[in-house]
Structure 1
Amino acid sequence: MEIGALVFDILGTLVDEPAGIRAAIRQAAPDADADELVDRWLGHVETEQRRIVEGERPYAPSDVLDREAAQLVTNTDVVPKRPPWPDTVEGLMRLAEQYPIIGLSNAGRTSLLRINAHAGLRWHLALSAEDAQTYKPDPAVYELAVEASGAPPERLLMVATHAWDLRGARSAGLRTAYVARPVGDPPSAADRFDFHAEDLADLAAQLAERRM
């Protein structure tokens, strides 16, 4: 079936989240082990998002979780700027010439605005998990993209570097494309995604070949 829209994860897939956090930590705590603190930061956010999805904690947007993590690791309220991967901006522009582009992020609305402004990302539409008051891989988040697109889920292609995200999208009926990143969650041997791409240029080439 023809693909009606591309749905992109943002954190990790289009922007280098650990690099942005690492830079913010080094500015706030120059003598600290930045790599260890990045792991603690991301671990806190992941744990709290999972607790929210499982109903163990009321919903809190990502900027709140990031502030908690910043206090935990640096005792300050540093706000990271997440840079795009080298292929992101050009890759999105190329893909946007052929498909509607939807961003679908666990980042809250405030964080998403800041990320887009700093990284120069191009969307036709950007959606935040905050609108569903939960986090991926809760099906309610993927449903935001389905409702916004007006297309059946099988005509949407979820693009992410996190295998867990793609599994969630597939469970919600979306098609899936894994894009390799140094910080991603690689597929397991049991995963069956529709596309495997080295970067956005590779994904664009595979999609163009499929359209021929």
Structure 2
Amino acid sequence: MAPIDVDVIVFDVLGTLVDEAAGLRSAVEQCAPGADPTTAAGLVAVWQQHVAVEQERIIAGGRAFAPSSVLDAEAATVVARRAGIDDPGQLQLLAAASTRLPPWPDSAQGLARLAERRPVIGLSNADRSTLLRLDAHAGLRWHLALSAEDAATYKPDPAVYRLALTAAAVAPDRVLMVAAHAWDLRGAAALGMRTAYVERPGGDPPAGTDRFDLHTTGLADLADRL
């Protein structure tokens, strides 16, 4: 496949550049030492389901906007209740788990390589304070990091992608959205952005009807293809 020509690269963060599930699982295991791996994984699924449902409610107008740190605190409370965690300090530590997510092995080097040639933007559903700490913890370096908090909604609401398009100040088809989630890429494509799917464990793979511009195995593959 011939390389595609774009001016700006936009990256999803959670799941695409950091291993969200592993970070949450580590926090659960730390705060609930008796949890075996299967139990911890189940609690992580509960956490992620709570956040996903509440984000969908906000997008649909069924709930006023709340930043991701609020949704994470709610999810941590639900998980703590199920895991029998009643220490306030442990609950606080658990609620901040999204600021300590580990990067995928190729994230830092891949971003640096891509940023040598084009402006790179992070576009995350994490709120501003969470994204700041997450980027510092994971070693992610951007030309610009944007949070869905600035649009008072969440991806895949078009308003979030417009934050990146406004900052890029070029036509949508000159901007490449990179994500490990097909739902995220569909949202970007609806606004005319180019799309690149990155394979990650636990991601949302493309359906048979999806037609993304690139399907890559990682950031090194993405950089080669660009």
Q: Does 1:29 align with 2:46?
A: no
Counterpart amino acid of residue 58 in structure 2: I
In structure 1, the gaps of 5 or more residues are 208-212
Aligned length: 207
State the secondary structure of the residue aligned to 1:117: helix
Query: How far did residue 2 of structure 1 move?
Result: 3.2
For 1:6, the equivalent position in structure 2 comes to 9
The sequence identity of aligned pairs, in percent, is 61
2:180 counterpart of 1:161? yes
- Report how far residue 202 of structure 1 moved: 0.3
Matches within 5 A, 1:116-135: 116-135=135-154
Alignment of 1:28-107 (within 5 A): 28-32=31-35, 33-75=39-81, 76-77=91-92, 78=94, 79-80=96-97, 81-107=100-126
TM normalised by structure 1 equals 0.96
Per-residue deviation, residues 31-85 of structure 1 (Å, max 9, x unmatched) = 2310000000000000000000000000001111001000100142312110000
In 2: Cα distance, 1:159 partner to 1:68 partner: 29
What root-mean-square deviation, in Å, do the aligned CA atoms of Structure 1 and Structure 2 show? 0.9
Amino acid at match of 2:175: L
Q: Which amino acid aligns with 2:133?
A: R
Gaps of 5+ in 2: 82-90
Match of 2:85 in 1: none
Equivalent residue, structure 1, for 2:129: 110
The runs of 4+ residues in structure 1 deviating greater than 4 Å are none
Matches of 2:171 and 2:152 in 1, distance apart?
22
| Counterpart selection for 2:20 from 9, 17, 20 | 17
Q: Which moved more, 1:57-66 or 1:69-78?
A: 69-78
Q: Aligned with 1:176: secondary structure?
A: strand
> Which deviates further from its counterpart, 191-200 or 69-78?
69-78
Secondary structure, aligned partner of 2:18: coil
**Cα drift, residue 30 of structure 1:** 1.4
Alpha-carbon displacement from aligned partner over 1:97-131 (angstroms, at most 9, x marks no partner): 11100000000001101110100101000000000
- Quote the Cα distance in structure 2 between the aligned partners of 1:134 and 1:70: 21
* 2:164 aligned residue: 145
Q: Which residue in 2 is equivalent to 1:210?
A: none
Question: Which of 183, 186, 192 pairs up with 2:202?
Answer: 183
Alpha-carbon distance in 2 for matches of 1:154, 1:143: 13
C-alpha displacement of 1:163: 0.1
The residue type equivalent to 1:168 in the other structure is G
Give the Cα–Cα distance (whole angstroms) in 2 for the partners of residues 46 and 114 of structure 1: 21
Distance 1:187 1:118 in 2: 29
